[in-house]
Protein backbone atom coordinates (compact mmCIF):
# COMPACT_ATOMS: atom_id res chain seq x y z
CA UNK A 1 0.00 0.00 0.00
CA UNK A 2 1.26 3.45 -0.93
CA UNK A 3 1.69 5.93 1.95
CA UNK A 4 0.15 9.41 1.77
CA UNK A 5 2.69 12.18 0.96
CA UNK A 6 0.56 14.75 2.79
CA UNK A 7 -0.05 13.25 6.26
CA UNK A 8 2.57 10.41 6.14
CA UNK A 9 0.25 8.11 8.13
CA UNK A 10 -2.62 7.17 5.81
CA UNK A 11 -2.54 4.86 2.82
CA UNK A 12 -3.70 5.73 -0.68
CA UNK A 13 -6.70 3.88 -2.05
CA UNK A 14 -8.16 3.95 -5.56
CA UNK A 15 -11.78 5.05 -5.45
CA UNK A 16 -14.53 6.55 -7.56
CA UNK A 17 -15.40 9.95 -6.08
CA UNK A 18 -17.78 12.75 -6.96
CA UNK A 19 -16.07 15.88 -8.31
CA UNK A 20 -17.78 19.01 -6.99
CA UNK A 21 -16.95 22.35 -8.62
CA UNK A 22 -18.69 25.56 -7.57
CA UNK A 23 -21.32 23.48 -5.81
CA UNK A 24 -22.14 21.46 -8.93
CA UNK A 25 -21.58 17.71 -9.06
CA UNK A 26 -19.63 16.94 -12.25
CA UNK A 27 -19.99 13.17 -11.80
CA UNK A 28 -17.93 10.23 -10.53
CA UNK A 29 -14.23 10.03 -11.39
CA UNK A 30 -11.43 7.64 -10.43
CA UNK A 31 -9.14 9.16 -7.78
CA UNK A 32 -6.43 8.26 -5.29
CA UNK A 33 -7.75 9.04 -1.81
CA UNK A 34 -5.90 8.96 1.53
CA UNK A 35 -7.82 6.93 4.12
CA UNK A 36 -6.53 9.20 6.92
CA UNK A 37 -6.48 12.89 5.84
CA UNK A 38 -8.78 12.52 2.82
CA UNK A 39 -6.35 14.13 0.35
CA UNK A 40 -7.71 13.35 -3.11
CA UNK A 41 -5.52 13.20 -6.22
CA UNK A 42 -6.53 12.73 -9.85
CA UNK A 43 -4.56 11.75 -12.93
CA UNK A 44 -4.02 14.37 -15.66
CA UNK A 45 -6.42 12.42 -17.89
CA UNK A 46 -9.18 12.62 -15.28
CA UNK A 47 -8.56 16.35 -14.75
CA UNK A 48 -8.90 16.85 -18.53
CA UNK A 49 -12.28 15.08 -18.39
CA UNK A 50 -13.35 17.24 -15.42
CA UNK A 51 -12.32 20.42 -17.27
CA UNK A 52 -14.21 19.33 -20.41
CA UNK A 53 -17.37 18.66 -18.35
CA UNK A 54 -17.04 22.01 -16.51
CA UNK A 55 -16.58 23.87 -19.82
CA UNK A 56 -19.68 22.15 -21.21
CA UNK A 57 -21.64 23.38 -18.16
CA UNK A 58 -20.18 26.90 -18.52
CA UNK A 59 -18.57 26.88 -15.08
CA UNK A 60 -14.89 26.61 -16.05
CA UNK A 61 -12.64 29.62 -15.47
CA UNK A 62 -15.25 31.90 -13.93
CA UNK A 63 -12.66 33.95 -12.03
CA UNK A 64 -12.10 37.29 -13.76
CA UNK A 65 -10.25 40.54 -13.14
CA UNK A 66 -12.42 43.60 -12.83
CA UNK A 67 -12.03 47.17 -11.54
CA UNK A 68 -13.58 49.19 -8.77
CA UNK A 69 -15.68 52.00 -10.20
CA UNK A 70 -17.70 54.81 -8.65
CA UNK A 71 -21.40 55.33 -8.22
CA UNK A 72 -22.15 58.67 -6.53
CA UNK A 73 -20.17 58.66 -3.28
CA UNK A 74 -19.93 54.87 -3.20
CA UNK A 75 -17.63 52.46 -4.99
CA UNK A 76 -18.96 49.67 -7.15
CA UNK A 77 -17.64 46.50 -8.76
CA UNK A 78 -18.48 45.51 -12.32
CA UNK A 79 -19.40 41.83 -12.47
CA UNK A 80 -18.60 39.96 -15.70
CA UNK A 81 -21.57 38.43 -17.55
CA UNK A 82 -20.36 34.82 -17.10
CA UNK A 83 -20.40 35.29 -13.32
CA UNK A 84 -23.79 37.04 -13.19
CA UNK A 85 -25.22 34.26 -15.39
CA UNK A 86 -23.81 31.55 -13.14
CA UNK A 87 -25.14 33.30 -10.01
CA UNK A 88 -28.44 34.20 -11.74
CA UNK A 89 -27.96 37.79 -10.52
CA UNK A 90 -30.33 40.52 -11.59
CA UNK A 91 -30.37 44.29 -11.16
CA UNK A 92 -32.02 45.29 -7.90
CA UNK A 93 -31.38 41.96 -6.22
CA UNK A 94 -30.49 42.25 -2.52
CA UNK A 95 -27.04 41.00 -1.41
CA UNK A 96 -25.07 40.94 1.84
CA UNK A 97 -21.48 42.22 1.64
CA UNK A 98 -18.92 41.42 4.31
CA UNK A 99 -15.12 41.59 4.53
CA UNK A 100 -13.35 38.22 4.89
CA UNK A 101 -9.97 39.81 5.69
CA UNK A 102 -8.07 42.92 4.50
CA UNK A 103 -7.78 41.60 0.92
CA UNK A 104 -11.07 39.80 0.36
CA UNK A 105 -14.77 40.40 0.71
CA UNK A 106 -17.70 38.16 -0.06
CA UNK A 107 -21.09 38.90 -1.44
CA UNK A 108 -23.93 36.58 -0.49
CA UNK A 109 -27.16 36.62 -2.45
CA UNK A 110 -30.23 37.05 -0.28
CA UNK A 111 -33.03 35.02 -1.86
In the chain the first and final C-alpha atoms are separated, in Å, by: 48
E-strand ranges in 22-103 read: 24-34, 40-41, 68-71, 74-77, 95-101
Question: Residues interacting with Zn ion, by CB under 5 A?
Answer: 4, 6-7, 10, 34, 36-37, 39
Is the Cβ of residue 4 or residue 31 nearer to Zn ion in the bound state? 4
Is the CB of residue 24 less than 8 Å from the CB of residue 53? Answer: no
Residue number with CB closer to Zn ion (41 or 59)? 41
Give the nearest distance from C-beta 36 to Zn ion in angstroms. 5
Minimum distance of Zn ion from residue 105's CB (angstroms): 33
In this structure, the number of other CB atoms found within 10 A of the CB of residue 40 comes to: 14
Q: How far is the CB of 55 from Zn ion (least distance, A)?
A: 30
Specify the residue, 6 or 51, whose C-beta has the smaller distance to Zn ion: 6
Amino acid sequence: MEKCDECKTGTIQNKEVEYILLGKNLGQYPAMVCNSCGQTLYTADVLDQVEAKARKLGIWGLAAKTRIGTSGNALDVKLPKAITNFLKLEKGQEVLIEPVDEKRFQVAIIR
